Amino acid sequence: MLKRNVRSALAPVMLGAAATVSAAPATEQAVRAFIDQAGQRSAELSVKNSRAEWVFQNFITHDTQAMAVDTQKALTILGGEQARQARDYLQVPGLSAQTRRDLELIRHDVSVPSPADAASTAELVEIGAQLKSLYSTGKYCNEAGECSVLRDMELRMANSRDASELLALWQGWREVSPPMRKLYARQVELANQGARDLGYKDLGDYWRSRYDMSGDAFAGDMERYWQEVKPLYESLQCHVRDRLQDVYGEEVMPDDGTIPAHLLGNMWAQGWGNIEDVVMGGAWKAPYDLTAILEQRDMDALDIVKMAEGYFTSLGLEPLPQTFWERSLFTRPEDRDVVCHASAWNVDAVDDLRIKMCIQRTGEEVRVVHHELGHNYYQRAYNQQPYYYRGSANAGFHEAVGDAIALSVTPSYLVKIGLLDKEPATTEENTIAQLMQMALDKVAFLPFGYIMDKWRWQVFSGELSEAQYNDAWWQLRREYQGVSSPVARDSEAFDPGAKYHIPANVSYSRYFLAHLLQFQFHREMCEQAGFKGPLYACSAYGSEQAGQALNAMLSAGKRLPWQQTLENFTGSDDVDVSAMLEYFAPLKDWLDEQNRDRQCGWQS
């Protein structure tokens, strides 16, 4: 899963002390003046922060980290001051609904609100930089002294079927995170204080309240969405566990119905696509191998990005600017440490669009690149909006747009761009293989996507103490995911920190929502394109009508509550899980038939 939450900005200026606003204004006009002034200040500092963060992530050194810390500190201080001022101005009587919403956007403009005092803010920012650095520079060294970075370890886990090697890699990466634990606990204390200063119970309440509803209402909706898709996940988990049982046997597989986390082909067991060969038993193979096609065509990273850009231009959208090709990072440098975690940037909030990732020649990376460019096109679409409207309708929209575009990477699309000579025959074998390939990533991800924040909500609320961090993490994974730790974990471990978004303090609810919304967006684009046929076979490639409808949603940014933006695009003002269920309906029927005589479910 991927970081794409970089705040864009207008133009670079010198950093300076934030101006303060005196007594709370008594008129709508005065409040509007504050909103405009706050947007201008934030825009000016954001570009400095974006540039410093870009340099730090591409050239990780002590000095570049210090530069990033300084600019992030200035932006955090400003954001905290303006958020607290917005909190006060919300008490002004008679404000219009739009002005009140704009004040709420200012109150939610920072991901991690800082306390009011400067020393605590400085400490909070410095802890954030330390946590990111620990993660990004982490390495696993085996007994022979051979060291591997995370990217290399991920590749080995994707391809190995040796349970002992997989366990060594899985445990090895989790040696990186224990030093984060004390830092993380302190960060929680400081961020909670910042959230309380803004009128929220804790940081979790603050995060949930960013969705145009109360924090409690959002938590209830998340659980409701999960319950609606849970039967599909349970069918998949049962089949996957049975196939793994055949391969690894009782010596490796527990008898409680769970799946050991190290066997699922992914460092965090969040996506299972890398064990497709095991799941399908080698009998039902996908109708084509995109990785093999890329190798046969000798396509490099730049070719893959050009391919993705072509999808967007086929919808009638403008090509990416030349600076995108000059300033992006497409491959891992050999001479320095970089943050390879894929991300999309708009450094100046106009058209300085970039991606940063270490692209590898695989079919999965093709989808990731399409996804990242989805962020770039979204960023450019709303670049004419006022500062506080520059962003997706809610955080899940930004992720969902890129994923919806990636759903159009179908056989028909590959034929149209010349990577396949003809579409594979439509047979049950091809259909199930294609859907299984997708479900192992999209469906398997859902409970992991949910519990990432569910765990943090418990941490932020004080329900969990530091001593309970790791045990509670694995309890949630067992309960929701049916996945267990392959070995007993000491309570001193900090396994949540082995996932980027925990040390980086990036809320994960957006990814859970995106995995549902993307199918809703995909269905709407297919309807706009006039596609007739099963949803899983559709590609909106080449449809300018679909492109116009999509761009209208993207251009709105977050000017309106996300429910209204969603309704304007799809006709529904709520997340509609039926689109995902429709997409995977043939696979669900097949899985239920396969599971007929199996003992499904797990002990939580």
**Following DSSP, what letter does each residue of 473-515 receive, concatenated?**
HHHHIIIII-EE-SS---TT--GGGGSTTTTTT--SHHHHHHH
Other CB atoms within 10 Å distance of the CB of residue 493: 22
Instruction: Clarify whether 371 is annotated catalytic.
Output: no
User: Alpha-carbon distance 146 to 451, whole Å?
Assistant: 34
Any residues with CB less than 8 A from the CB of 140 and at least 6 apart, and which? 147, 148, 153, 169, 172, 173, 175, 176
Side chain identity at residue 13, one-letter code: V
CA dist 576 → 223, 229, 273, 311, 325 (Å): 14, 11, 25, 26, 37
332 burial via Cβ count (<10 Å: 0-12, 13-18, 19+): middle
Q: Give me the catalytic one of 81, 123, 372, 399.
A: 372
β-strand 483-484 against 259-260: which pairing, if any? parallel
Q: DSSP E strands: which ranges in 315-446?
A: 343-346, 353-356
Task: State whether the Cα torsion 295-296-299-305 is positive or negative.
Answer: negative
Query: Tokens 């190995």 sit at which residue?
Result: 160
CB 281 within 8 A of CB 243: yes
Instruction: Clarify whether 372 is annotated catalytic.
Output: yes
User: Alpha-carbon distance 123 to 72, whole Å?
Assistant: 12
3-state secondary structure (DSSP) of residue 260: strand
Q: Give me the catalytic one of 108, 341, 501, 515.
A: 501
Any residues with CB less than 8 A from the CB of 510 and at least 6 apart, and which? 5, 394, 395, 396, 398, 399
Nearest to 519 by CA among 451, 435, 589, 593: 435
Residue 343: strand pairing partners? 356
Active-site positions? Answer: 372, 501
